[in-house]
Amino acid sequence: MPAKYITLNAKDGSGSYTGYLALPDSGTGPGVVVIQEIFGINTPMREICDQLANQGYMALCPDLFWRQEPGIQLNDKIQKDWDRAFELYQGFDVDKGIDDIQTALSWLRKADGSNGKAGVIGYCLGGFLAYLSACWTDADAAVGYYGVSIDSKLDEADTIKGHLLLHVATEDEFVDKAAQQAMHNALDNHPRITLHDYEGMNHAFARPGGTHYDEKAAKKANDRTLEFLKTRLG
């Protein structure tokens, strides 16, 4: 399975940024933009790309923090890295981040071997951006794992033209019960959105090696994701 870093040009002409690209052995397939947590394109994000490539997807993880600190890779087990991650999160421009995701989607659609379809998968901050990608980009499919702040943008759901799958951790330390209920109230009856709750799970339950990792819940979520992508992207 080949993997490499590529260069993408920002939509606003302000510069260029890198992305980690993993390709299936066949060299062909649908595209998936993997949207980072607050730790940059670190080992877990690259491993997700590699796993998706093994499933037949062209997986691209763009560096969304490049405007603040290009190429950053942080470790969730180190406190100073946590502190830096939250600084980057607080300084992140969501609108420009969505522009960068759209650029990555467009790149994948035009890449050699692409079937012309492209979706997104995001985690934590990336889960929020996956939701917004469903609303604001041309993604054919979007998957969000324990996305934060989705309840602040529920009025955007009517703009979704593709399909969206959200994985919700019921004991998420960053998404309280009121926010979860607001999400269900607004989205449960949307014809293009599916929400799955994971009872007793905390934030980042699907990150291998993480503090709250749960193998059984992660497998259930990942299996649902793969079935969803197969249906929506091919």
Mean pLDDT of the 11-33 span: 95
Say whether pLDDT at 164 is over 90: yes
Q: pLDDT band at 2, cuts 50/70/90? A: confident
What pLDDT is stored for residue 30 in this prediction?
Answer: 98
CA atoms of 225 and 212, how far apart (whole Å): 19
Task: HSE, CB side, 13 Å, CA atoms: give it for residue 144.
Answer: 28
Q: Please report, for the domain that includes residue 212, its CATH number.
A: 3.40.50.1820
119 strand-pairing partners = 32, 141
Mean pLDDT of the 92-97 span: 97
Q: How many domains does the chain have?
A: 1
Query: Would the pTM count as exceeding 0.85?
Result: yes
Say whether pLDDT at 210 is over 90: no
Mean pLDDT of the 99-110 span: 98
| Residues forming the active site | 172, 203
Planar angle of CA 181, 134, 189, nearest 5 degrees: 40
Say whether pLDDT at 72 is over 80: yes
Instruction: Domain of residue 134: give its range.
Output: 4-233
What pLDDT is stored for residue 1 in this prediction?
Answer: 65
